[in-house]
Structure formats: C-alpha cells, structure tokens
C-alpha cells in the first residue's frame, strides 16, 4: 500500500498494517502473584467456540459461551506452551489481571473472569461486537471531525480515570480501542492491558514499551510518565482523520527519528480541511515535551471536543419508588440482567450519558454530579434514586447501578424472554420465587431482603418477570 507521506519531512505513513513493531524492555519488579486462584475451571463454566476474533502477541481472542447464562463472551487464551521459560510474560499476565480487576469504569473493558489451568490462561471479558477502531477505519474510511471527537472524548474519559488511579496503559493504539455503535450512540472501550502498569506520582517508568507508530518520544528515550498515553491518543486521532500515521518511515529507526523530531506533517490535515481548533488540539496532544502536553482531563474538556460533542439535555425522566422488598427484587433482577443478558450495544446511549455526567472521572456518579446534569429541581428524586439503586450502599452510583436506575424498561422487556430462559433451568416455563432469590443472591454476592414465607413457593412466569422488571 502506498505511502502518502510528504516528501519534505517524509514522516506520515499510511495506516496499512496491524503488525507494527511492538517493543518492550520492561523490568518486572512487582513481586506478588494472583493469590486468589481458585479450583474453578474454564472448561466447566464456558464452552470455547471456534471463532477467533483476534490474535496478538500473547494469545488468541476467541468467543466462548457461559453454560449458566448462555451469554457469549470474548476470552483471551494465552497458551503456556508459547511462553514456556518466559517468566516475565507469566508475570505480565498475572500483573494485568491484578491491576484491571480493581478498575471500574465503563470505558475500560475489564475481565469478568480469570482462569488458569496447566495449559492456558483464560481472560474472560464482555464481547464487543462492533470490533476495534483499526477495522472500523479500514472498513468505513476516514472519520469526520465530529465522529472522531465522539470517540476521542470517551478515550480521554477512560484515560483520565486510569491516570487518576495511577495506571498507565502504555499500548494505546487503534487495535486496542473497541467501539460499538447503536442507534446513533457510540460506546468506546479500551482493551489490552498486557503492558499496563502502575506509576506513583513523581516517579518515572523506564525502558521502552508500546507499538512503534504510537510511541511517544520520551518512551523511545526510556524515561516517561502517563503522558505517553496522551501522545498515543494524539496518534489515534490523527489516524482516524487521515488514515495516516503522523510519524512514519521506511524502518523502525526512521520512524523513531521522525517521532523524536516531533515534526508532524500538517499539510495532510490541511488537505482534509482540518479546522483550526483541531490543529491546535493535535499540536497540544503531540507536543514532544510531556510537561506541556495536555492531561487526559484537559483533553476531555478541550474546545474542539466540546464543539463536536454537545452534552445532550437529559432525555430521561426520573422515576422513583418507595424502597420495598419488591423493589429490591426488581433492582436485583435488573442488575443481573444488565450484566448478564442485555447485549452491550443496547447500552450505548447510557454509556455516553454516564461519561458526560462523571465530571471528576472517578468512575462513579455522586449526588452532586447527578444534580448538575438533571438540575437542582430533581434533587429530591435523585436522593430517592440513589437510595434505591445504590446496591452496595456506598453513597454513589457505579455504572451498573446507574444503568439499573435509568435504563428504559422497553429494553429490559425485550430481553425478558431470554432472562426466563436462563433462569428456568428445568424448562417448565416457570421459576419459583425462592429459586430466583437464591440465584440472584449468588450472582450478586449478597442477600437483599426478607420475604414473606408464603410467597417463597410461588412460581413466576414470563409475565411476572416483565412485571418485576418494570415494577
Ligand atoms: N472483548 C472483545 N470483544 C471484541 N473483540 C475483541 C475483544 N478483545 C479483543 N478483541 C479483538 O482482538 C484483538 C486482540 O486483542 P488484544 O487484547 O488487544 O490482544 P493482544 O495483546 O494480542 O493485542 C483486538 O485488537 C480486537 O480486535
Ligand atoms: Mg492489542
């Protein structure tokens, strides 16, 4: 594939291959292993499907089906045989699980389960059917400024969360950003934490890590901070708009030289009639001085992003109920269904809404943030919503709690049949209330209320499920 680079600085390079050089000279200084490995096994809980949806440096990504729910997940299967004597890679896998298990942000695709047997590691995660940005760019061509801004806003929201939790991704690139579009709403999730690490404030990371085209100059020099992710995000943005990398070259050395020079070819952007705000934004993301480079939260609030991503006026009416056991059952069923039955793409609208409400990027919604979005007049209703939806009683709403409170009941209704299918183990068309409660308490890891003994034996059907979730 031809290179559209400028003859002057010979830097840009067509986005044409997924197999750019990956470099890592990391030191593995952290010591603890995953301590909580249990005796559960992947093969008794999931069926590995034939379809491979991706392959990479340390494993293959396959689809799998969970026996208990029939839900399809993606799983990264890392063969131990492929890394027999490489202790460092084993540590890298365990390290990423340890870091990512603590993460709770809708823009970061964490692992829903982790298994290890004598042959493989299995990192189970939600399946995002829309694929990655690389494929999107290849299949649909260049992004408009508006479409690119919508993607980047979500990327910066996830990065702001990671960086404020002292986590650095270190391999941000088109292939590691998944995207799902549904009814005009977009959902973006960062993946691939093979090289993700933690970094204490004031410290620097050493060595080289990342994929050549996306590497920040200071990474090439071997001493860097979380700002390396912002540079990579700048490269992603440039690529989305032009289908070229900002810094190319005929060899890895030449690419590195161009990156170090920081001389980006803006003429290609001018050919694309890029706006002045965009040019200014790109310059402040691809600034070779990491101190002067924007932070993730500054990038999220940059005028170019704000111009293209108007925050929608609340379209949702707040409904409240008095807190009763029936509501707890309804809440439990919704929480479970949202996590296990409703496909991720149905949640695109709410995903965007969550990202806009979470002003301080801490991955949870506070009462103040909800009031800022819905308005002071809704304050009382918001109190009630938090009281009902705050399942773990920590005073704020995590993503799934937020969804359970705001999701359109029509979406839940659409999946009520599937819910019953999963719940109705003996295929009688009904489930007893006591079994339903036991199941939900097991799934949600906690008890959620007392119930009148005489009702426990009652059996519920499809109509009752609809009643419960819309009640
Ligand atoms: N949860 C997922 N849903 C859909 N596609 C995925 C998922 N996880 C990974 N992929 C696809 O597989 C590719 C490789 O996965 P990744 O975790 O980045 O592995 P590697 O470390 O080998 O790059 C991704 O670029 C993406 O196309
Ligand atoms: Mg990857």
Query: Domain check: are 49 and 67 in the same one?
Result: yes
Domain with residue 250: its CATH number is 1.10.510.10
Instruction: Assess if residue 45 is contained within a domain.
Output: yes
Query: Domain check: are 245 and 287 in the same one?
Result: yes
Query: Domain check: are 225 and 251 in the same one?
Result: yes
Total domains in the chain come to: 3
Instruction: Assess if residue 299 is contained within a domain.
Output: yes
Nearest CA owner, ligand 1 atom 2? 127
Instruction: Assess if residue 215 is contained within a domain.
Output: yes
Rounded Cα gap, residues 91 and 78, in angstroms: 13
Instruction: Assess if residue 7 is contained within a domain.
Output: no
Mutate to test the pocket of ligand 1, among 51, 96, 132, 190 (most ligand atoms within 8 A of CB): 132
Q: Annotated catalytic sites, by residue?
A: 171
92 C-beta closer than 6 A to ligand 1: no
Mutate to test the pocket of ligand 1, among 22, 61, 126, 187 (most ligand atoms within 8 A of CB): 61
Q: Pick the last residue of a domain from 276, 308, 340.
A: 308
Which residues touch 46 (CB under 8 Å, ≥6 apart)? 64, 65, 66, 67, 73, 75, 122, 124
Query: Domain check: are 279 and 182 in the same one?
Result: yes
Query: Domain check: are 218 and 342 in the same one?
Result: no
Rounded Cα gap, residues 408 and 387, in angstroms: 19
**CA–centroid distance, residue 264 to ligand 2 (Å):** 25
Query: Domain check: are 157 and 263 in the same one?
Result: yes
Containing domain of residue 234, as a range? 133-308
User: 242: closest CA among 1, 2, 4, 63?
Assistant: 4
Instruction: Assess if residue 318 is contained within a domain.
Output: no
CB atoms within 10 A of CB 355: 24
Q: Are strands 167-168 and 177-182 parallel, antiparallel or unpaired?
A: unpaired
Domain with residue 34: its CATH number is 3.30.200.20
Domain with residue 349: its CATH number is 1.10.238.10
Nearest CA owner, ligand 1 atom 17? 192
Query: Domain check: are 110 and 157 in the same one?
Result: no
Query: Which ligand lies nearest the alpha carbon of 189?
Result: 1
Q: What is the pLDDT along the chain (471 residues), one digit of tens a residue?
A: 223 233 333 456 788 767 677 666 543 333 333 434 457 899 999 999 988 998 876 679 999 999 888 889 999 998 887 765 556 667 777 888 888 888 999 999 988 899 988 888 899 999 999 999 999 999 999 999 999 999 999 999 999 999 999 999 999 999 999 999 888 888 999 999 988 999 998 999 998 888 999 999 999 999 999 999 999 999 999 999 999 999 999 999 999 999 999 888 788 888 888 999 999 999 999 999 999 999 999 999 999 999 999 877 776 767 777 767 777 888 899 999 998 899 999 999 999 999 999 999 999 999 999 999 999 999 999 999 999 899 899 999 999 999 999 999 999 999 998 898 888 888 888 888 888 988 898 888 888 777 666 677 788 888 888 888 886
Contact 285, 159 (CB under 8 A): no
Q: Pick the last residue of a domain from 278, 308, 338.
A: 308
Cα Rg, the chain, nearest whole Å: 24
Instruction: Assess if residue 9 is contained within a domain.
Output: no
Query: Which ligand lies nearest the alpha carbon of 136?
Result: 1
Query: Domain check: are 288 and 387 in the same one?
Result: no
Instruction: Assess if residue 19 is contained within a domain.
Output: no
Q: Pick the last residue of a domain from 256, 279, 308.
A: 308
Query: Domain check: are 348 and 219 in the same one?
Result: no
Query: Domain check: are 54 and 148 in the same one?
Result: no
Query: Domain check: are 382 and 435 in the same one?
Result: yes
Instruction: Assess if residue 8 is contained within a domain.
Output: no
Contact 94, 33 (CB under 8 A): yes
Query: Domain check: are 100 and 229 in the same one?
Result: no
């Amino acid at each position: 594939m031809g290179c559209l680079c400028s003859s002057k600085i010979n830097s840009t390079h067509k986005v044409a291959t997924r197999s750019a050089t990956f470099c890592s000279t990391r030191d593995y200084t952290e010591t603890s292993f995953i301590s909580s490995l249990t005796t559960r096994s992947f093969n008794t809980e999931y069926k590995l499907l034939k379809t491979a949806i991706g392959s990479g440096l340390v494993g293959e990504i396959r689809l799998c089906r969970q026996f208990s729910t029939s839900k399809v997940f993606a799983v990264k299967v890392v063969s131990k045989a492929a890394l027999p004597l490489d202790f460092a890679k084993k540590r890298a896998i365990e390290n990423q699980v340890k870091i990512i298990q603590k993460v709770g942000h809708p823009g970061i695709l964490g692992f829903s389960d982790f298994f290890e047997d004598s042959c493989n590691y299995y990192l189970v995660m939600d399946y995002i059917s829309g694929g990655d940005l690389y494929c999107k760019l290849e299949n649909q061509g260049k992004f408009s400024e508006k479409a690119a801004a919508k993607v980047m806003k979500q990327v910066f929201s996830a990065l702001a969360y990671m960086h404020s939790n002292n986590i650095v991704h270190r391999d941000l690139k088109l292939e590691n950003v998944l995207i799902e579009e549904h009814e005009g709403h977009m959902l973006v999730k960062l993946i691939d934490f093979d090289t993700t690490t933690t970094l204490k404030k004031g410290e620097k990371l050493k060595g080289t890590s990342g994929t050549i085209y996306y590497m920040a100059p200071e990474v090439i020099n071997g001493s860097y901070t979380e700002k390396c992710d912002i540079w990579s995000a700048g490269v992603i943005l440039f690529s989305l708009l032009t289908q070229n990398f900002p810094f190319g070259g005929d060899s890895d050395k030449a690419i590195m030289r161009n990156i170090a020079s920081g001389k980006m070819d803006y003429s290609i952007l001018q050919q694309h009639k890029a706006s002045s705000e965009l040019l200014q934004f790109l310059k402040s993301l691809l600034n070779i001085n990491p101190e002067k480079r924007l932070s993730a939260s500054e990038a999220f609030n940059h005028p170019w992003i704000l111009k293209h991503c108007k925050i929608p006026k609340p379209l949702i009416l707040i409904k409240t109920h008095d807190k009763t056991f029936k509501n707890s059952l309804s809440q439990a069923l919704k929480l479970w269904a949202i996590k296990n039955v409703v496909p991720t793409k149905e949640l695109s609208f709410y995903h965007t809404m969550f990202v806009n409400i979470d002003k301080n990027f801490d991955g949870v919604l506070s009462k103040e943030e909800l009031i800022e979005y819905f308005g002071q007049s809704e304050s009382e209703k918001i109190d009630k919503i938090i009281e009902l939806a705050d399942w773990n009683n920590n005073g704020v709403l995590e993503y799934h709690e937020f969804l359970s409170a705001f999701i359109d009941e029509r979406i839940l209704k659409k999946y009520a049949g599937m819910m019953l299918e999963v719940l109705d183990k003996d295929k009688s068309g009904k489930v007893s209330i006591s079994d339903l409660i036991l199941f939900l308490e097991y799934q949600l890891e906690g008890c959620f209320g007392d119930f009148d003994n005489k009702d426990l034996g009652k059996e519920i059907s499809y109509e009752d499920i609809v009643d419960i979730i819309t009640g």
